[in-house]
Structure 1
Amino acid sequence: MSTASRIRCADLNDRIMSAKEAAALIPNGVNVGMSGFTGAGYPKAIPQALADHIREQREQGTEYKIGVFTGASTAPELDGVLSEVNGMSFRIPYQSDPIGRKNINEGRMDYMDVHLSHLGPDVAAGFYGKISVAVIEVVGITEEGHLIPSSSVGNNKTWVDVADKVIIEVNHGQPAGLEGMHDIYQEDFLPPHRKPIPVLKPEDRVGTPYIKCPKEKIAAIVETNSTDRNSSFSEPDEASKQIAQNILQFFDDEIKAGRLPKELLPIQSGVGNIANAVLAGLNDGPYKNLTSYTEVLQDGMLEMLKSGTLKMASCTSFSLSPEANQELAENIEEYKDRIMLRQQEVSNHPEVIRRLGIIAMNGMIEADIYGNVNSTHVMGTRVMNGIGGSGDFARNGYLSIFMTPSLAKGGAISTIVPMVSHVDHTEHDVQVIVTEQGLADLRGLCPRKRALEVINKCAHPDYRDRLLDYFERATKNGRGQHTPHNLAEALSWHENFEETGKM
């Protein structure tokens, strides 16, 4: 590792130390803001050293836990190792680690699920107490001591601003060419000092390429050489491909109706195989000069940039397979002017999303017949990952689309149910529901008409008649005709699954 090429501020050379020494600077019981968003840009060495430190403290009879704040999910080297030692008393705002999920669902770790655009300003306002330490991965440090962000930005600026001390991981394994790809907005996000964010199109640059950090705040610098750990996406199955075709047909119809321009509007896409199938369909279709204003750039969008279908992508993080990561690193100069990485307060900002007219496409666990969506909880009580940015985009986008296969668990579960077991997105924020069975356009429909649209267009045939029977009986029970329900059996499908393993 060449320290000189990455740490350009000579005043900071005396703060270079080992991960073990840096981890010892994190006191027991504090809240720590760590970098990382969807498995990109998270610290690689310090969390492992901290986990070792926690083990040592436990062996000496000292209980040791910290609160962990991030941008979104991280990776086994952060969430995994700290979950293994049960070292987190509190976790926010999103996680996807299986051990962490188990700790949350078994009550060993407190977890708070929040909209991603809210967390940075809420922490700056003091809603969640003090963030004492920030642990941030960077590509390098400038001559002035500014931080060159890594493969994600997330809440890093906020953590640096509010923390008493900052611990830096300078990762030589991240491409040095990332420098200049970031746009860090410097204005205040708190009332009464808020100003309009002047993003009028996805390619607008409104900030600086660096995170400003007072040199006296930097307590330690640890050098690493590790790539982000992201898994390869599997090939889309037939259901995912059909969902993609249903959405593409919808776009074609909207263009013909004059409700979308032929270049569409800026697209936002959640992460996963279905999302990648939609992006692949867009890449293979007639669309040109598309733009994206999203939180995560995954393989499908990188392919669209490579082919020229997508001319510009604004995001807060990468979520790339190892193959796509290599493609980005090897050709980063070709991508640099067409990708912009912002902090998540900007990438997910409700006002910017509303002004740009984002087409929001997100996954879900289940939807009910009236259009309410559950995107976080299995059977109403066990959290999967979190709401992430889906609420930011669904509530404020020009079009709000939710998608999932109509069946789960080999047919044991219908993803279209009489009533969702947990509500993340109310019927007011959901315009379109898509499964491989079809697409339900809910715009302009009263609840009873939405129910028939969802059942007839999206439900799997194995469950469609039962849903129609439920709805028809609910309309005759005399309890009200606006949103008919049989309350005694509205959640009986979920109860059946818990008792028998099948809805």
Structure 2
Amino acid sequence: MMNTRVVAAGLRKRICSADDAAALIAPGMTVAMSGFTGAGYPKTVPPALASRIDDAHARGLDFRINVLTGASTAPELDGALARANGITMRLPYQSDPTLRDKINDGEMDYLDIHLSHVAQNSWSGIFGEIDIALVEVCAIRDDGKLIPSSSVGNNKTWLERAKGVILEVNRRQPLELEGMHDIYYGTALPPHRVPIPLLRSGDRIGERYLHCPADKILAIVETDASDRNNEFTPPDATSRQIAGNLIEFLRHEVAMGRLPKTLLPLQSGVGNITNAVLSELGAVGFAGLTAYTEVIQDGMLDMLQNGTLTVASATALSLSPSAFVRFAEHIGQFHERIVLRPQEISNHPELVRRLGCIAMNGMMESDIYGNVNSTHVMGSRIQNGIGGSGDFARNGYLSCFMSASTAKNGSISCIVPMVSHVDHTEHDVAVLVTERGLADLRGLSPKQRAQQIIARCADPAYQPMLQDYFDRACHQSFGKHTPHLLKEALSWHERYIETGSMRS
């Protein structure tokens, strides 16, 4: 017991095994768990729960629960529970292959919602009562306050809303994380809201710790396990070209006086392309930058170390294993330059608009008018989810979406006549970028946008097809404002499903 991080003596009697903690979760419960993009998720109770569920199913009993998180987690949570067929409903974002297959096979319900909306909907009762909050923390102080771990996500809301709480105290998370968090307790539902007093990315407006009444804590499980995130692959030629196209545009905006030399607070979605953009920003001479985003990836950590970035605000450290080791070894360098917040603050539309964020997110496809699909393959199969991209795209100063121009070795064009699913309407998309070029859509009518996107973003193999569709639509469509041939608009997707290629 001397090595325990449960410093509050009165709570030590609640330390138990993962199996004992999992036994507190009953069929039909709604369980809200920590975790945001592979960081700060509970690592031992979910596998123990999955084992209980397997045993129940073997005895012919139905055992499934509703699972709420901050965003995606890891195989020990989403994967284990999905393999056990233990989830009835999941929200708000996921990336596990087994879980994804269950959703797309219709074996569980999935709510894909804006990350900034989760806490509000929870407080409004949209998701019903939360029976158990299962949250990872670094430690429990002698005064009972909780030191958050590598992500905050929705943990503040889960701890406040849940009837009972199970804590995983993970000694693998650096204790030096203490003080990096900024937990703001000043949010409220309308009509009682007041302005959030945050004016700069690095402002601290809350507390260092999470609160949880001792009488709500049902069990504490001590763990020693790392977060699980994959190593980032070095940017390939396509990613570097996309990054180069966007950076050339940002330089132009600075030259035109629309952006300062230090740009505006950066938001970067998860993925290799956005990570490549971050890596290139430092290499080409930008300095004094700031970030107001959801996750700190490897590229952003590099920028903090080399001085390109002065401060980064996020809700999670989504670092590869090697980058997390580097972070832990040099944590003193980052302590005052990284702020980890609840996701209702990191993604809050009020703050994104006030700060004027530059939103940089990936997409699956765009149509010729600038509508973006970032979630669904061929219109009906969910990939991951919208995450926080919509929070920033609609409210940011500049909304940029990036993708390679083709996928599946050229059999799919990422620029299509009409997207098969709309996550971001043309009204929320300012800039489209592929390795072929960049289309600045601001101030353009629909037909002007179409010409820019076809000429600058589409792959040469698909440009004649897109131009032919657009030209015929301009003459034959029902209306001429946003010309479409409705019988053909989704024919590219149908052709891919039937033949394995969008090419005619």
Q: Shared fold by TM > 0.5?
A: yes
Structure 1, residues 353-390: CA drift from partner, whole Å, max 9, x if none?
00000000000000000000000000000000000000
Q: Does 1:253 align with 2:252?
A: yes
- Residue 376 of structure 2 aligns with which residue? 377
- Residue 237 of structure 1 aligns with which residue? 236
Deviation at 1:190, TM superposition (A): 1.1
SS at match of 1:440: strand
Structure-to-structure mapping, 1:457-472, within 5 angstroms: 457-472=456-471
AA matched with 1:230 = N
Deviation at 1:192, TM superposition (A): 1.7
Structure-to-structure mapping, 1:68-467, within 5 angstroms: 68-467=67-466
Structure 1 pair 180/474, CA: closer, same or farther in 2 (3 Å)?
same
Deviation at 1:59, TM superposition (A): 2.1
Structure 1, residues 103-135: CA drift from partner, whole Å, max 9, x if none?
000000100100000001110110111111000
Question: What is the CA–CA distance in structure 2 between the aligned matches of 1:478 and 1:182, rounded to whole Å?
Answer: 54
SS at match of 1:410: coil
Question: What is the CA–CA distance in structure 1 between the aligned matches of 2:470 and 2:46, rounded to whole Å?
Answer: 51
Question: What is the CA–CA distance in structure 2 between the aligned matches of 1:371 and 1:25, rounded to whole Å?
Answer: 49
Percent identical:
61
AA matched with 2:402 = M
Deviation at 1:60, TM superposition (A): 2.3
- Residue 20 of structure 1 aligns with which residue? 19
AA matched with 1:347 = S
- Residue 499 of structure 1 aligns with which residue? 498
- 2:477·2:484 contact (CA, 8 Å) conserved in 1? no
Q: Once superposed, what is the RMSD of the aligned Cα atoms? A: 0.8
Question: What is the CA–CA distance in structure 1 between the aligned matches of 2:35 and 2:188, rounded to whole Å?
Answer: 21
Question: What is the CA–CA distance in structure 1 between the aligned matches of 2:263 and 2:472, rounded to whole Å?
Answer: 41
SS at match of 2:275: helix
Question: What is the CA–CA distance in structure 2 between the aligned matches of 1:350 and 1:72, rounded to whole Å?
Answer: 18
Structure 1, residues 297-317: CA drift from partner, whole Å, max 9, x if none?
000000000001100000000
Residue-pair matches, total: 502
Question: What is the CA–CA distance in structure 2 between the aligned matches of 1:383 and 1:56, rounded to whole Å?
Answer: 30
Question: What is the CA–CA distance in structure 2 between the aligned matches of 1:303 and 1:2, rounded to whole Å?
Answer: 37
- 2:415·2:458 contact (CA, 8 Å) conserved in 1? yes
AA matched with 2:195 = P
Question: What is the CA–CA distance in structure 2 between the aligned matches of 1:154 and 1:99, rounded to whole Å?
Answer: 23
Deviation at 1:428, TM superposition (A): 0.4
- 2:140·2:147 contact (CA, 8 Å) conserved in 1? yes
SS at match of 1:354: helix
Instruction: Report which stretch shifted further, 204-213 or 54-63.
Output: 54-63
Question: What is the CA–CA distance in structure 2 between the aligned matches of 1:207 and 1:171, rounded to whole Å?
Answer: 24
Structure 1, residues 438-476: CA drift from partner, whole Å, max 9, x if none?
000000000000000000000000000100000000000
Question: What is the CA–CA distance in structure 1 between the aligned matches of 2:404 and 2:149, rounded to whole Å?
Answer: 35
Question: What is the CA–CA distance in structure 1 between the aligned matches of 2:192 and 2:12, rounded to whole Å?
Answer: 37
Deviation at 1:61, TM superposition (A): 2.2
Instruction: Report which stretch shifted further, 66-75 or 194-203.
Output: 194-203
Structure 1, residues 22-52: CA drift from partner, whole Å, max 9, x if none?
0000111010000000000000000000001
Deviation at 1:394, TM superposition (A): 0.1
- 2:477·2:485 contact (CA, 8 Å) conserved in 1? no
- Residue 36 of structure 1 aligns with which residue? 35
AA matched with 2:84 = V
AA matched with 1:407 = T
**Moved segments of 4+, more than 2 Å:** 1-4
- 2:131·2:163 contact (CA, 8 Å) conserved in 1? yes
Question: What is the CA–CA distance in structure 1 between the aligned matches of 2:383 and 2:26, rounded to whole Å?
Answer: 30
Structure 1, residues 185-224: CA drift from partner, whole Å, max 9, x if none?
0113311221111110011000001111000000000000
Question: What is the CA–CA distance in structure 1 between the aligned matches of 2:129 and 2:401, rounded to whole Å?
Answer: 36
Question: What is the CA–CA distance in structure 2 between the aligned matches of 1:325 and 1:110, rounded to whole Å?
Answer: 33
Structure 2, unaligned stretches of length 5 or more? Answer: none
AA matched with 1:127 = I
Structure 1 pair 174/120, CA: closer, same or farther in 2 (3 Å)?
same
SS at match of 1:402: strand
Instruction: Report which stretch shifted further, 144-153 or 416-425.
Output: 144-153
- Residue 47 of structure 1 aligns with which residue? 46
Structure 1, residues 164-199: CA drift from partner, whole Å, max 9, x if none?
000000001111111111000011331122111111
SS at match of 1:411: coil
- 2:352·2:396 contact (CA, 8 Å) conserved in 1? yes
SS at match of 2:336: helix
Question: What is the CA–CA distance in structure 2 between the aligned matches of 1:467 and 1:239, rounded to whole Å?
Answer: 22
Structure 1, residues 254-277: CA drift from partner, whole Å, max 9, x if none?
000000000000000011110111
Deviation at 1:478, TM superposition (A): 4.9
Question: What is the CA–CA distance in structure 1 between the aligned matches of 2:485 and 2:247, rounded to whole Å?
Answer: 36
Question: What is the CA–CA distance in structure 2 between the aligned matches of 1:299 and 1:495, rounded to whole Å?
Answer: 38
TM, length-normalised to structure 1: 0.99
Deviation at 1:65, TM superposition (A): 0.4
Question: What is the CA–CA distance in structure 2 between the aligned matches of 1:458 and 1:444, rounded to whole Å?
Answer: 18
AA matched with 1:75 = A
AA matched with 1:27 = A
TM, length-normalised to structure 2: 0.99
Question: What is the CA–CA distance in structure 1 between the aligned matches of 2:59 and 2:130, rounded to whole Å?
Answer: 27
